[in-house]
């Protein structure tokens, strides 16, 4: 069995479908219970329908980067694993970074041509068990971190933004440097995405373009994909 047949096997797809069906069932049960409780409290059906539609609309925007991340990861990891991770508790950013780092740890690139079953298994563990390790750590670390943040917030709230930005820039810089070492094409795409994201945030300051702030991440992913397709024939 070749690599693509393995990662897109029927058994794996059925397993993921069953898990997602269970999750969906739980959501439907809670929705039904909430609906019945709202009716008991006197909320009209028209109001509840409006609430449900509003919730669906609000959920669509955060789902865009998730769908894009699945599209990006599917050729390399198959449909099942990215579908499972991003549909339950996974994060688009974390999954891509975890999978890329896990593949690199086995000595291969996160591409359709270089990935091996061993690299896929490593990525699967990193995306599932590896990411879950952070959950109990947060329970221990979050409280003292919040206390520290609160101290700085009382002195000068601007420090909170500075600390958060520094942490984000550190992660992005580490990831970008490793990707940039692979050649001029990844470097050009990274630089282009930085510029595009910056322009989106500048444009979002316009009251009429505030919606760009919510769409900046998915638009940047799309821009990176399009840019890579455009420049690859010229720079490869």
pLDDT per residue as tens digits for the range 44-99: 888 888 888 777 766 776 677 778 778 888 888 988 888 888 887 767 677 888 88
For residue 209, what are the contacts with CB-CB under 8 A and spacing of at least 6? 203
3-state helix, strand, coil in the chain (%, to 5): 85, 0, 15
Domain that holds residue 43: 1-132
Low-confidence ranges of the chain (pLDDT < 50): none
Per-residue model confidence (pLDDT) at position 18 = 93
Instruction: Give the count of beta carbons closer than 10 Å to the beta carbon of residue 86.
Output: 23
What single-letter DSSP state applies at residue 206? S
Look at residue 71 and tell me if it is in a domain.
Answer: yes
The half-sphere exposure of 139 on its side-chain side, counting CA atoms within 13 A, is 4
Strand (E) or helix (H) holding 222: helix 211-235
State whether residue 115 is helix, strand or coil. Answer: coil
Per-residue model confidence (pLDDT) at position 223 = 86
Look at residue 138 and tell me if it is in a domain.
Answer: no
Look at residue 30 and tell me if it is in a domain.
Answer: yes
Instruction: Give the count of beta carbons closer than 10 Å to the beta carbon of residue 12.
Output: 17
Per-residue model confidence (pLDDT) at position 14 = 93
Look at residue 176 and tell me if it is in a domain.
Answer: no
Rounded CA separation 209/114 (Å): 41
Beta strand residue intervals within the chain, DSSP E: none
Look at residue 137 and tell me if it is in a domain.
Answer: no
Per-residue model confidence (pLDDT) at position 62 = 66
* Total of domains in the chain: 1
pTM score above 0.75 = no
Contact status, residue 84 vs residue 16, Cβ threshold 8 Å: yes
Look at residue 172 and tell me if it is in a domain.
Answer: no
């Amino acid at each position: 069995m070749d690599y693509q047949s393995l990662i897109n096997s029927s058994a794996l797809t059925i397993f993921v479908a069953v898990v997602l069906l269970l999750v969906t069932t739980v959501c439907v049960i809670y929705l039904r219970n909430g609906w019945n409780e709202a009716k008991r409290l006197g909320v009209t059906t028209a109001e509840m329908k409006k609430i449900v539609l509003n919730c669906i609309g609000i959920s669509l925007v955060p789902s865009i980067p998730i769908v894009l991340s699945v599209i990006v990861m599917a050729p390399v990891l198959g449909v099942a694993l990215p579908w499972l991770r991003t549909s339950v508790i996974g994060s688009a950013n974390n999954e891509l970074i975890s999978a890329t780092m896990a593949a690199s740890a086995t000595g291969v690139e996160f591409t359709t041509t270089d990935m091996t079953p061993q690299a896929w298994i490593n990525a699967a563990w990193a995306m599932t068990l590896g990411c879950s390790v952070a959950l109990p750590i947060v329970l221990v670390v979050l409280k003292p971190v919040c206390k520290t943040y609160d101290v700085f917030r009382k002195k000068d709230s601007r420090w909170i933004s500075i600390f958060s930005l520094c942490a984000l820039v550190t992660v992005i810089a580490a990831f970008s440097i490793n990707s940039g070492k692979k050649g001029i094409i990844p470097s050009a795409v990274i630089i282009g995405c930085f510029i595009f994201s910056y322009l989106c945030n500048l444009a979002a300051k316009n009251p009429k373009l505030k919606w760009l702030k919510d769409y900046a991440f998915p638009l940047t992913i799309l821009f990176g994909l399009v840019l890579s397709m455009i420049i690859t024939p010229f720079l490869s």
